[in-house]
A = this chain, B = another copy of it.
Amino acid sequence: MCDELSGAGKVGSRRRGSSPRRSGHTARRGEFDFIERLRRREDALNDGTGTSRSDTRRSTLLLGIGDDAAVFRQHAGFDTIITADMLVEGVDFRLGADWATPRDLGHKALAVSLSDVAAMGARPRFCLLSLGVPRALWRGRFKEEFYGGVRALARQHGVRIIGGDTSSMPERVVVDSVVLGEVRRGRALTRAGARAGDQIFVTGRLGGAAAGLGILEKHGAGASPSAPLSKAGRTRAESLLVRRQTRPTPRVEWGTLLCERGLATSLIDLSDGLSSDLAHVCRESGVGARVEASLLPVEPLLGTIGVGADEALALALDGGEDFELLFTAGPRQASRLPREVGGVNVTRIGEVTGERGKVRLVREGRARLLRPGGFDHFASAGS
């Protein structure tokens, strides 16, 4: 019954819990037209046979946007990975020409979920974006720009938009991003495989995203919180750091390489911050860790904008949102690691110990317990 050309996963066709008499069929057209455009754009990527363009990919999209649900076929020999991430305006991001654009938001919403899929060693394949937006924004360019940001990043990774939902949301924008990926059977890299004696590595540089957030918040302090100093007022280094915050790059190539070549015993992405995320690995693996402060690949731009050594270290450890990967590797695996993948290098930062649940930071020869220092949505002051 599956008809490829009929297109098909609904975006936004459901209406609930409010009086149906409030609207008529003409007003409705705006939403259907938009869904239809989104569907046509996605359908244009299909080669018409229902198979993916690349034969290194092993799942086939049978039905995308437009029906009650999407349908895909995961080919034998692969497992399916799925993750969901919710972003709330004013909590997880702010919109505005000098903060993040709708396009940046589309990019970031997809990026955080791609990062989760990469953190299982999986190749991302499909995504569903659910979007709640104020009506005034919906009527403007917002949705086109948002989906433009999603689409651009999706294309880079061969990911198809196959569904989602839309709703009006009176006060602020909310996005829930779902990404599906695939990995060879039984090969998903979890947080649970680290063993005492393994070495600990991270990709890229740490602390940049948190510093970028600091720049956005600092510049906004004098004026309205939604009006930071204009983009033009930032140095080049500041702009680059802000970009780390607003347009993170998920380490998909590193994640899939580690998995496909069997180079890691455990894997996680740095979303909460190194101190929190390494603690997750230790808890799940039943091990401890020892990190050398001097080995941490602190983002060099932090020095450029005058951040001192102590603060830079704190940003690298607790800042979060760098969306780099942290992994553990046994001695033989470590010896086979490439120095860089796609221009992103990897740095050894310490080792796994048998001291269950304890993460120690060694700085200038002295070790101290490192406590998780990430952000908790429900811990801040206020209601």
What is A's interface to B at a CB cutoff of 8 Å?
1-3, 6, 8-10, 12-25, 27-28, 30-31, 62-63, 66-74, 76, 79-88, 90-94, 112, 116-117, 119-122, 126, 128, 130-132, 134-136, 138-139, 162-172, 174, 176, 178, 180-181, 183, 185-193, 210, 213-214, 217, 245, 265-269, 271-273, 276, 280, 284-285, 318-321, 371-383
Contact = CB atoms under 8 A, between A and B. Distances in A.
A1 B265 contact: yes
A296 B269 CA distance: 54
Contacts of A187: 1-2
B68 A82 contact: no
B15 A320 contact: yes
Given A91-B168, A169-B88, A15 B135 contact: no
Rank and list the top 3 A-B pairs by shortest CB-CB distance, nearest first.
Answer: A27-B379, A6-B192, A15-B375
Given A73-B80, A81-B69, A15 B380 contact: no
A336 to B, nearest CB: 16
A86 to B, nearest CB: 4
Nearest to A138: B378
Stoichiometry (number of copies): 2
A321 B181 contact: no
Contact of A23 (B18, B185, B380): B380
Given A132-B88, A377-B167, A378-B138, A83 B10 contact: yes
Given A15-B376, A192-B3, A374-B20, A83 B62 contact: no
Given A22-B381, A25-B372, A135-B378, 5 more contacts: A15-B273, A16-B375, A27-B376, A84-B164, A85-B130
A14 B108 CA distance: 13
B80 A72 contact: yes
A163 B74 contact: no
A68 B119 contact: yes
A130 B162 CA distance: 18
12 contacts: A13-B280, A20-B318, A62-B186, A67-B120, A67-B191, A68-B83, A69-B117, A69-B119, A82-B126, A85-B165, A90-B170, A176-B176
- Which interface residue of A6, A73, A375 has the most chain B CB atoms within 10 A? A375
Given A19-B214, A71-B81, A62 B188 contact: yes
Given A30-B379, A128-B84, A24 B188 contact: no
B16 A193 contact: no
Nearest to A29: B376
B318 A17 contact: no
A130 B86 contact: yes
Contacts of A284: 6, 8, 66-67
A9 B191 CA distance: 11
B190 A2 contact: yes
Contacts of A6: 190-192, 284-285
A94 to B, nearest CB: 8
